[in-house]
Structure formats: C-alpha cells, structure tokens
Amino acid sequence: MAMEAAVIEKLIREGIPDATVEIADLRGDGDHYAALVTSAAFKGKSRVQQHQMVYAALQGRMGGELHALALTTAVPEGV
C-alpha cells in the first residue's frame, strides 16, 4: 500500500509546524521517497534526534504504508 507524497508532507508539517518540506518520489512508484526537512526546531539537536522528530510526525507509518524514506534534515540559516 503506497503513500502519496502530499500525505507525507502534510504529516510532517502537522508534527513540525515550522518545517519546510521537500519530497521527491525516487522511483515513481509511490513507495521510495527522499525528503528534505528544514526546521528551527532541529536547532541544538543531533541528527538522530532530528530524524526521530520526523519519524514521530509520520505517526508509525514508516515501514508500513511508507516503505522507504531517504531523510535529510537541516536547520535554517541564521537560526
């Protein structure tokens, strides 16, 4: 069961309200995505903690509806 990019983006934005989210469907199959998530909420957090925040926003869908997500996180410049 594939997950639409718009749903991934919506879940992340709901979980991390100030996030800028860019989603790319890597294979065109709705099953393998790359995401760039930028948020001031990541400031001072390790990369692992940042990724955990994104996974929490996805509400347990990783590994189920969402098969693969190549995740990149960042803090906005000047924050």
Q: How many domains, in total, are found in the chain?
A: 1
Looking at residue 70, its pLDDT comes to: 94
Looking at residue 1, its pLDDT comes to: 59
Which CATH number does the domain housing residue 43 bear? Answer: 3.30.300.90
- Specify if 36 maps to a domain: yes
Question: In this predicted model, what pLDDT tens digit does every residue of 22-71 receive, in sequence order?
Answer: 999 998 877 889 999 999 999 999 999 999 999 999 998 887 778 789 99
Q: Which domain holds residue 52?
A: 5-74
Q: Residue 65 class from Cβ within 10 Å (0-12 exposed, 13-18 middle, 19+ buried)?
A: middle
User: How is residue 76 annotated by DSSP?
Assistant: P
- CA 41 to CA 19: how far, in whole Å? 8
